[in-house]
Chains A and B, each alone.
Chain A
Amino acid sequence: MTSDELEQLLVQQPVAVLHRLARGRVHRHFRAGKRRLIELILQHSSQNLAGLESDVLALIAERQSHPQPPQPPARPASRAVVAPPRRTAPRSGEQETTEAAVSLAAWLEGIGVPAPQPFVPDPWQEDALAALDETDVVVSVPTGSGKTYVAVEAAKRAIAHNQTVIYTSPLKALSNTKYTEFSRIFGIDKVGILTGDRQENGQAPLLIMTTEILRNLLYDAASGEIDIRLDTLGLVILDESQYIADPERGVVWEETIIFCPSQAKLLLLSASIGNPQDIADWLTSIRPTTCRLVRHSKRTVPLRAGYLHPNGKLVPLFKTATIPSGHAGHLHPEAKRLFFEYEEETLPSGRPRR
């Protein structure tokens, strides 16, 4: 077949077949329209047209032997639209692979509310607070671990020493939430919030603002136009500091850290990132004391992953109830089978979703 003939053949195929051909050949093929898709497939297989040709023919043969089920008419937002893949009768022959895998019941076990327990700070929280007496601290722990406790406790200690504390968050919405939360904890008169055009309680010992506002304050201070009492500043808390890697705004975190007065301690709170040691080493290299890194990656509330098939069937996603760290391939055979079935059934519709 010449490449022109091959192109002709491709043009005659439904888009679904083209998408299947593109799988593994063309990156992000689902975004391309039909014409573009053909172009891309040909381009990427230009070294191996023969291979492409045999794949096309195989696919055509396969389609002829299994005629596709008619597609349901598309009526958006109506319940009838949803075509839950037909339930396939459970195949008992597959049990030998399922043996090692966790059962749904075991996966769901333990679901529910724990008995109330007195609040005991975690060791890492104590660690961070103790280190903060001496030096700057970088905390990198999973979402929902309890970073706020460290921030609040550290702020309490600094305020007790008559120091000013600044807490920054990346988002105004988050600042507002924290303003409410901290006002409840510290008392309304102890907490202030600063935005571009407003100051509420600007003389309070605990000030909440976005990182941009703090950066501006530090610039003003550097050029001698002090707006707030930076000389009594004892602690700067940068929450969600993984934002330092934000393409547009990350630079603001760097500026803030570079210009943070040396007498104030820095507390960086971050979700889990790959290289928190780099951040700590960087702080050590530019700040007066050796920065302390507090990190762990174990979730306090264990997490399990599941797979919910469009027909409502729920199965564990992995062979084990807990997430098998480092083993993306350890899928639950049932989840694997259902997802494969799903892909097979949905692909022929071929319409890019977005």
Chain B
Amino acid sequence: MPPSIHPVDLIASLRQKHLTPAIVFLTSRRACDEAMESFDHADIVLPPVRQDAIAAALERVIAQYPSVADHPLIPTVQRIGVAAHHAGHLPSWKIAIEELMRQGCLDAVFATTTLAAGVDFPARTVVITQSSIRKSRDFTDLTIGEVQQIAGRAGRRGKDQVGFAVVTPSPYIDLGVLTKGFTGHPESIDSQFTISYPMVLNLLKAHPHEQIHAILAKSFAQFQLNQRAELLERKLDALHVQMEPFGPRVCTDWVSQWQTFDQVRRQRPQRHQVRRHESPELSARFHFMTPGRVVGLARGRGIVLRQYRSKGQKNPMISVLRLDGAVTECPASNVGDIFDRVFECDETPAFPWCSAASFDELSYQLTELPARLPTLPIMVPKDSEVLPDAIVQSLGDFPCPSCPSRPACQKDFATALRLRQEQHRHTKSIQALRASLWHRFQERVEVLQKFGYLSPSAHLTDEGEWARLIRIDHSLLITELIRAEAFTGADPALLTGVMASITHDDDRPGSFPRISSGLSSLLGQVRKLAESLSPYEDPPLLRADVAALAERWIADPTLTWIGLCRLTTMAEGDIYRLLARTLEFLSQIHTLRATHPGLAETASRAIALIRRGVLEELP
């Protein structure tokens, strides 16, 4: 335990300064529980009036949620007027604490930052002990918006004249993040639009294929893509203006004309001829590997610093800035993903191919990239742009040598070409921005056609008609399992076990009851299918131990909630969430009653069996 203020002292300080009631945000559930335990030997006892008030308030909550009655923490809360509130607790217990807090019965609550989101849980003071939070298995600095959401819990309208946000340090707290959060303007938010299989099926059920483009165009994602495209279009306009002084010449496309002439004249190896050996895909993709672009390579991600063609083989190559700060050379064909993310990059003609400031900025950006980035869909042009051979056949065919514009062309060519290339790049980016959602949609359509949910004309097949009703994560795995008749003859316990293992996405270890052989072999089958589907859908964790816990709850209707909790080290709030999520999945399967009556019936029996004890207290 790091040197930070002791919870008992903390509460005493707050009480002494009249800063209660307070919410104390701690880094983890464990920290909250330990903070509670630290009061075990403290000789703090609330006056009897306040103890009675807590008891009375709890009484009212218990009338509605009986499971609260035998919560082991009730005596402590009543004695010290302090409680913990985190995701490891049952919803009913959290409701009880929220109610106590609302009625002013408590002096403080130890909570994790999950509380910051939306729960009506105000206090006079908020205590902040951290500057980063765990997000998808990694610690990230709090954003300005998050700091303000947390601090904003302080100061109740009508009950406080002033609210207080108090920072108390723990090691590695970054005070800068917090002060910036307090004083800054919240970040802009960006669309996180993704296209899922059920979305495609449901869209195509209700609308003909040719209308989808217009529907996708209504998304916030497209709105923001358009904003970016418009920015580029303005740059493009500016480029047009810069190009104006160069025209008109004797031939309209004098830049290409001169470029080809110049190359032939100098007997330079023909770029365009080389290109013919590349696949159109690679050429199309290479186009996007421009400086500042984030790309995925076999080992990690990088940012492109320049693109060029190797001297020897004339292969398209890129120089990439890697996560460790190294700049490596790599064939364009080794690039896996091209991400929809480009940073400003101030290019320079020599190593490291960009200015020092850019280099620092890009190195930093690279470490800050989120785990998931949208990839850029890339259109492969039908006819790759190959110059007709006729043009390059002989120098004699060129009008340039005797052309009156020749001196002007020769002089302006370098600048004009650069401007033109920039124009070209912007045009391509604009096209990609305008069309990217549609391409992502098309990719999904193709997969659904491959699996037979959509006909070649993109209409729902019989399979697609029912599959569209499964609108949850891992929908492809679930519908494929149903089609493979994996659940034929499965009883409610088995079905529940499998669904639980599909919903559960937490890899925290723990001890669990033993799994039945039936469920174990069925899970083996599920795992195999999930693996074969992995190119199309991220496989779930499919933990057998978690499945066994859910199975037990269904298989043994006499098992009490406390009995279930004793079978595992999982926190009861987590068990509750697992079963509640499983319930959601099962209720989706239940909607298939028209086409899969047997399975729907099993699901409905499973739902009835899950819904008992604490799982019946809330809708």
Contacts and interface: CB of A to CB of B under 8 A. Distances in A.
Interface of A: 27-28, 30-31, 43-44, 46, 74-77, 79, 81-85, 108, 110-114, 116-117, 142-146, 148, 169-174, 176-177, 179, 193, 195-198, 200, 212, 215-216, 219, 222-223, 239-240, 242, 244-248, 250-251, 254-255, 257-258, 271-275, 278-279, 281-282, 285-286, 297, 299-312, 314, 317-318, 323-331, 339, 342, 345-347, 349, 351-354
Given A303-B162, A353-B172, 8 more contacts: A77-B38, A113-B160, A179-B619, A271-B149, A317-B179, A318-B182, A346-B2, A349-B2
A310 B303 CA distance: 43
Contacts of A257: 220
Nearest to B205: A223
B203 to A, nearest CB: 8
A245 B118 CA distance: 15
A323 B183 contact: yes
> Which 3 A-B pairs give the minimum distances between C-beta atoms?
A143-B152, A301-B155, A245-B189
A170 B4 contact: no
Contacts of A195: 584, 619
Interface string B161-190: 111111111111001100110111111111
A69 to B, nearest CB: 11
Interface centre among A82, A172, A255, A302 (most CB of B within 10 A): A82
A271 B160 contact: no
Interface centre among A179, A311, A328 (most CB of B within 10 A): A328
A111 B6 CA distance: 24
Nearest to A181: B120
A174 B3 contact: no
B619 A354 contact: no
B612 to A, nearest CB: 14
18 contacts: A111-B19, A111-B124, A111-B161, A114-B158, A142-B148, A144-B153, A197-B607, A216-B471, A247-B192, A250-B191, A251-B192, A271-B149, A300-B157, A301-B155, A301-B160, A303-B151, A308-B5, A347-B171
A91 B469 CA distance: 70
B157 A170 contact: no
A255 B163 CA distance: 37
Contact of B179 (A143, A174, A302, A328): A328
B367 A302 contact: no
Nearest to A43: B324
Given A113-B159, A251-B193, A327-B183, A342 B169 contact: yes
Contacts of B4: 82, 310
A250 B196 CA distance: 13
B127 A305 contact: no
B118 A81 contact: no
Contacts of B12: 312
A176 B188 CA distance: 30
Nearest to B216: A258
B191 A244 contact: yes
Given A299-B152, A354-B27, A196 B3 contact: no
A114 B166 contact: no
A175 B192 CA distance: 23
A154 to B, nearest CB: 18
B619 A282 contact: no
B156 A74 contact: no
Contact of A144 (B156, B164, B170, B183): B156
B1 interface: yes
Nearest to B120: A177
Contacts of A197: 583-584, 586-587, 590, 607, 611
Contacts of A170: 117-118
A169 B118 contact: yes
Contacts of A275: 188-189
A186 B513 CA distance: 46
Contact of B165 (A148, A215, A305, A354): A305
B119 interface: yes
B431 interface: no
A257 B4 CA distance: 46
B1 A279 contact: no
B95 interface: yes
Contacts of A331: 179
A311 B5 CA distance: 7
Contacts of B618: 172, 176
B193 A254 contact: yes
Contacts of A327: 183
B325 A44 contact: yes
Given A82-B3, A312-B13, A307 B167 contact: yes
B91 interface: yes
Given A44-B325, A171-B118, A314-B17, A245 B148 contact: no
Nearest to B372: A247
Interface in B63-104: 91, 94-95, 98
B8 to A, nearest CB: 7
A142 B152 contact: yes
Contacts of B180: 328
A101 B591 CA distance: 65
Given A240-B118, A250-B192, A354-B27, A317 B219 contact: no
Contact of B171 (A177, A216, A301, A346): A346
Contact of A196 (B27, B220, B370, B584): B584
B206 A219 contact: yes
A33 to B, nearest CB: 15
A67 B163 CA distance: 42
A131 to B, nearest CB: 21
Given A246-B192, A250-B191, A301-B161, A143 B148 contact: yes
Given A251-B194, A325-B183, A310 B117 contact: no
Contacts of B167: 305-308, 317
